[in-house]
Amino acid sequence: MTNEEIEARAQRAVELFKQGFNCSQAVFASCADLYGVNDEQLALRLSASFGGGMGRMRLVCGAASGMFMLAGLHNGSSTPHDNEGKMANYAFVQQLAGEFKGKYGSLICAELLGLAPKGTTMEYLPAEALRPKPADRTPEYYEKRPCPEMIAEAVRIYLRNI
């Protein structure tokens, strides 16, 4: 894939996020067609639960989760006792995670958003940060969020590694 094609998909992911989709949806839906998932609505539904750090619990970053879902489409095992296949997929996920964490210092949504100090546990989060209601998508929301950059970079990391 050329750098221009990678950038086009990265920008598509940012567009999806700015339309109101979550980080995981944006990353996954921007690349799912590469694996025959041509129904964008299906791609968006499959990845919907991983936004906000998994159901807005502020755990694993949705952009990273979107990459990991794509990794499953790329080389995930579909045979119960395929230990070699599982190992190859886990190694790929760990490689993607390492690159993302190397760039941003964490894979944890709360840490990436500055809601918890890096390397801490989730017990430091205020209850308000965990409420299931998504934040309103206002211009101020987009100004303070690092998510668009991380979404675009997650797409780039993924596509450069396949």
pLDDT, tens digit (0-9, with 9 covering 90-100), for 29-83: 999 999 999 999 999 999 999 999 999 999 999 999 999 999 999 999 999 999 9
Average pLDDT, integer, range 134-148: 90
Q: In the structure, what pLDDT confidence band is assigned to residue 116 with cuts at 50, 70 and 90? A: confident
**pTM metric for this prediction:** 0.92
89-111: string of b/e by CB count within 10 Å (b at 16+)?
beebbeebbebbeeebebbbbbb
Residue type, 141: Y
Q: Quick check: 151 pLDDT over 90?
A: yes
